[in-house]
Amino acid sequence: MKVLMANKFFFPKGGAEVVMFQERDYLLRSGEQVIDFSMQDERNRESPYESHFVSNKDYRDGRKLSKLRSALSLVHSREAVSKIAALIDKMRPDVMHCHNVYHQITPSIISIAKSRGIPVVLTLHDFKPVCPSYLRLRAGHPCSLCLDGDFRQVLMNRCAGGIAASALLYAEAAVQRWLGSYENVDRFLAPSQFMRDAALHRFRPEQVVLLYNGVDTAEFDASAQDDGYVLYLGRLSREKGVETLLRAHEAAESWDLVIAGTGPLERSLQMRYRNARFVGQLSGQALKATIGGASAIVVPSEWYENCPMSVLEAMAYGKPVVASRIGGIPELVVDGETGVLFEPGDADELRMLVSRLMSDASLRARMGAAGRIRAEKQFSIEKHNANLIEAYRSLVDV
């Protein structure tokens, strides 16, 4: 089988890329042919198809978007359409699997594949097809106004911050609906039931298949080590709820907290919460050692998380997870068995739950062991890959 895999980043930037490279590596090991389509970047992994990648674009710089051509290319990339057409005509894939293609590549490539009779699969790593700003946040709080297709809400509520950026997101959503880009997707892969339910506001039930992210537990040593600290891993931004965790820690004064990550709130949080230990972005052996020594992992998100790899990896390490009861997280963490859940933003409840967990080492060990077993049985990479192939074969006669 020939699988054309499209993702705007071709290096491990975030959770979407972790999943994409897991799937790509599995397909290659299984003898399938993978055709890469992405964006040029000096951080990219090697690919025999890199000459077909689109030129690098960084839309984080608002000054670039002030130019009309740059703004329009975010909505519809003529370069991506031209290059994907040439790549499809040359390689004749059996299926195209899109991951994170928004903005730099744009969903316009979907119609090109369909026009050539190529079925399209798209993994819903975020809410972009039902929320123009993709986060489902309005003024920093969870929002559902656009789920039923009234994309004017992103403009009326200025969900991108300013009127110009919000207007651009509205235009993007309107153009893609007019082109029928998402309607042309044959199969959406939803990594959580919560995501599937959101997608069903717009798409047919048979279009949207539940496929949880997988974790390769063989890569993670379940650690019996417990060095007595609570660990947060992730971006230091408002929607991640890290400040709620820091407030809980300040009030508790009975357990140590390590914050691993960077983000827009980093400097402010370091100045205001001096009792926590900020260690910055970790990778490699330093990351493994820090997770291995943790007593518990906290995921205090205050937005609709999908299927966070941080939770699955914490379970694979044999660590109990303390997490918000929001989005797809409750589908991963079994409250009272593999960890504990709390109401998003409730620092008092979080403080109480973490303090109780940190006072009972045997409870932490039992929950961590149960989480490891759950990761092996319910969220294994083998199970994920088998279901991925089944989704492909339901569309492809090979």
Residue 57 reports pLDDT greater than 90 = no
Mean pLDDT, to the nearest integer, of 170-186?
A: 92
Q: What pLDDT is recorded for position 61?
A: 52
Whether residue 315 sits in one domain with residue 251: yes
**In this structure, what token pair is assigned to residue 335?**
């409250």
Residue 294 placed within a domain: yes
Could you tell me the pLDDT band of residue 58, with boundaries at 50, 70 and 90?
confident
The rounded distance, in Å, linking the Cα atoms of 244 and 50 is 43
Q: What pLDDT is recorded for position 398?
A: 54
Q: What pLDDT is recorded for position 397?
A: 73
Whether residue 227 sits in one domain with residue 336: yes
Residue 198 reports pLDDT greater than 50 = yes
Whether residue 32 sits in one domain with residue 163: yes
Mean pLDDT of the chain: 93
SS3 281: coil
The rounded distance, in Å, linking the Cα atoms of 378 and 353 is 25
Residue 66 reports pLDDT greater than 80 = no
pLDDT digits (tens, 9 = 90+) for 249-263: 999 988 999 999 999
Q: What pLDDT is recorded for position 65?
A: 47
Q: What pLDDT is recorded for position 59?
A: 60
Residue 69 reports pLDDT greater than 80 = no
What residues does 257 pair with on adjacent strands?
Answer: 230
Residue 226 placed within a domain: yes
Q: SS in 3 state form for 159-222?
A: CCCCHHHHHHHHHHHHHHHHHCCHHHCCEEEECCHHHHHHHCCCCCHHHEEECCCCECHHHCCC
pLDDT digits (tens, 9 = 90+) for 123-155: 999 999 999 999 999 988 999 999 989 999 999
Residue 149 placed within a domain: yes
Whether residue 210 sits in one domain with residue 81: yes
Whether residue 229 sits in one domain with residue 190: no
276: containing domain: 217-378
| DSSP per residue, 29-92 | HTT-EEEEE-B--TTPPP-TTGGGSBPP--TT-HHHHTSHHHHHHHH--HHHHHHHHHHHHHH-
Could you tell me the pLDDT band of residue 68, with boundaries at 50, 70 and 90?
very low
Calculate ∠ Cα 334-131-138, nearest 5°: 80
pLDDT digits (tens, 9 = 90+) for 269-312: 999 999 999 999 998 899 999 999 999 999 999 999 999 999 99
CATH number, domain at 266?
A: 3.40.50.2000
Mean pLDDT, to the nearest integer, of 167-194?
A: 93
Q: What pLDDT is recorded for position 188?
A: 98
Q: What pLDDT is recorded for position 196?
A: 98
pLDDT digits (tens, 9 = 90+) for 89-112: 999 999 999 999 998 899 999 999
Residue 398 placed within a domain: no
Whether residue 265 sits in one domain with residue 387: no
Global pTM reads 0.93
Whether residue 242 sits in one domain with residue 319: yes
Percent of the chain at pLDDT > 90 equals 84
Residue 54 placed within a domain: yes
Contact 86, 37 (CB under 8 A): no
pLDDT digits (tens, 9 = 90+) for 374-397: 999 999 999 999 999 999 999 997
Whether residue 148 sits in one domain with residue 223: no
Mean pLDDT, to the nearest integer, of 8-19?
A: 93
Residue 168 reports pLDDT greater than 50 = yes
Mean pLDDT, to the nearest integer, of 222-247?
A: 94
pLDDT digits (tens, 9 = 90+) for 329-379: 999 999 999 999 999 999 999 999 999 999 999 999 999 999 999 999 999
Tally of domains in the chain: 2
Whether residue 246 sits in one domain with residue 140: no
Residue 352 placed within a domain: yes
Percent of the chain at pLDDT > 70 equals 96
Whether residue 244 sits in one domain with residue 186: no
Whether residue 196 sits in one domain with residue 306: no
Residue 289 placed within a domain: yes
Mean pLDDT, to the nearest integer, of 83-87?
A: 97
**Helix, strand, coil fractions of the chain, as percent rounded to 5:** 45, 15, 40
φ, ψ dihedrals at 295, nearest 5°: -85, -35
pLDDT digits (tens, 9 = 90+) for 24-46: 999 999 999 999 999 999 999 99
Amino acid at 383: K
**In this structure, what token pair is assigned to residue 194?**
């919560």
Whether residue 386 sits in one domain with residue 322: no
